[in-house]
Structure 1
Amino acid sequence: MEQVERDLQRRLDRIQSRVENLEFMEARDAERQHEGLLFEALARFVQGLADLLHRSDPQVEHIALEISSKISDPGIRRQLSYLPPLLVAFSYHEALTSGTEAYPPLDQYVSAAARSTYLAAAEALTESDLGPLTSWVRSNRQDTRLLVDMWMFRSIYIDGCRYFHYVPSAKVAWDNLIRLSQEKGLGHEDRINEIMPKLIDVRDEEDLIMYFE
């Protein structure tokens, strides 16, 4: 009788272990899907905001290309030709050179590899004339901070790019962007609410959704 009970208990333990493993795998998959959704929402918002800024002031694209053309490292040169990482690098550059500016608020959450990339790009900016960019940033301080923070959030959730491959709904993306801003106390909620309607159902030349639907 005792042997039967022991055998039964072992079977129950194996079943419980399988159930726990299944629950763990389901929770992990759900977390990965959520990270993927966040990454996709952030990537599309960043692209949309960058496009809006380029359209409102075409000169900023020329500024980015002019700065990046002076960078000797080809990898950093490609990186800094795009406005969002350029603004992140500029934020770090300001912190390193001014003695009064702090690192971007999300610096404490990024990986060591991401921080190393940002700092290398910031140091490379010493090769360029930053006067025009400095003036532009001062005139667009709110959107600059928003773009920097959203790009850094994107790097925090970079692993999510492997788990999500379709256009997130505008409402879900909108809610998550607001939540991220609130959780980290960034104060971007009002500006996100102003920008998101401009990024809904925008289509490219092939009639594909560019940002959100």
Structure 2
Amino acid sequence: MEQLERRLQLLLDRLRCLEDDFELKHAREQKGLLFEAVARFVQGCTDLLLRSDSQIEHIILEISSKVSDPGIQRQLSYLPPLLVAFSYHEALTSSTEAYPPLDQYVSAAVRSTYLAAAEALTEPDLRPLTSWVRSNHQDARLLVDMWMFRSIYMDGCRYFHYVPSAKVAWDNLIQLSQEKGLDHEDRINEIMPKLIDVRDEEDLIMYFE
């Protein structure tokens, strides 16, 4: 009888381990889906902005070329992290601007990279970017929040490397915006149709299918 009870207990323990492993795998998959949705949306949105305004690339180059630290220079050479750094810079130098709303969700390590990049920016070099952000406030704010979501779900890139369904990605982006009260839903709905079934020179999906 005792031997049977021990076997049953061992079986229950194994079942619990399998259940825990399944839940962990499911959580990782969900995180991976969120990362892919956000990362591809950021890439697509950035590409659209760069194609619509050739001035942006010049602004990015002018700012990043003035930074001596190679790591920070790389960070500031791409529009989304540059806009994040600009947002933190505004918060650090203004008595009225606050940190981006998703700051409370990023890790201390990620925040430190944002702050280091923000501190590398200087006012005279930021005038063209400041003007652009004011003229494109909605898209600038959208890219800041989505890039920060990307940082939050960064671990997901270990588990997913495929093109996500447009519908699943679309739903996830809307849900993220709603849950955090970011009010990006209308803009996401305007941009997403432009990112579906877009192909590169090798006929590969660039964003969503």
TM-score normalised by the chain length of structure 2:
0.98
Which of 97, 100, 104 aligns to 2:96? It is 100
Cα distance in structure 1, aligned partners of 2:99 and 2:157: 26
Cα distance in structure 2, aligned partners of 1:208 and 1:137: 32
Cα distance in structure 2, aligned partners of 1:127 and 1:95: 13
Q: Deviations over 1:70-104 (max 9, x none)?
A: 00111101110100000000000000001110000
Which of 47, 50, 53 aligns to 1:51? It is 47
Aligned to 2:188: 192
Runs of 4+ in 1 over 3 A off after TM superposition: none
Aligned to 1:30: 26
Q: Deviations over 1:24-49 (max 9, x none)?
A: 00110111111111111111000000
1:126 Cα deviation (Å)? 2.1
* Contact kept? 1:201, 1:212, Cα under 8 Å: yes
1:70 paired with 2:66, answer yes
1:20 paired with 2:1, answer no
1:127 Cα deviation (Å)? 7.5
AA of the residue aligned to 2:199: R
Q: Deviations over 1:115-170 (max 9, x none)?
A: 00000000001276100000000000000000000000000000000000100010
Secondary structure in 1 aligned to 2:121?
A: helix
Which of 189, 207, 210 aligns to 2:206? It is 210
| Deviates most, 127-136 or 51-60 | 127-136
Secondary structure in 2 aligned to 1:203?
A: coil
Larger Rg: 1
Cα distance in structure 2, aligned partners of 1:108 and 1:123: 19
Cα distance in structure 2, aligned partners of 1:183 and 1:102: 20
* Contact kept? 1:71, 1:124, Cα under 8 Å: yes
Cα distance in structure 1, aligned partners of 2:124 and 2:32: 36
1:124 paired with 2:120, answer yes
Cα distance in structure 2, aligned partners of 1:151 and 1:36: 15
AA of the residue aligned to 1:66: E
Aligned to 1:138: 134
Structure 1: runs of 5 or more not aligned: none
Report how many residues are paired: 209
Cα distance in structure 2, aligned partners of 1:10 and 1:104: 55
* Contact kept? 1:42, 1:154, Cα under 8 Å: yes
Indicate the RMSD between aligned Cα atoms, in angstroms. 0.9
1:109 Cα deviation (Å)? 0.1
Aligned to 1:152: 148
1:192 Cα deviation (Å)? 0.3
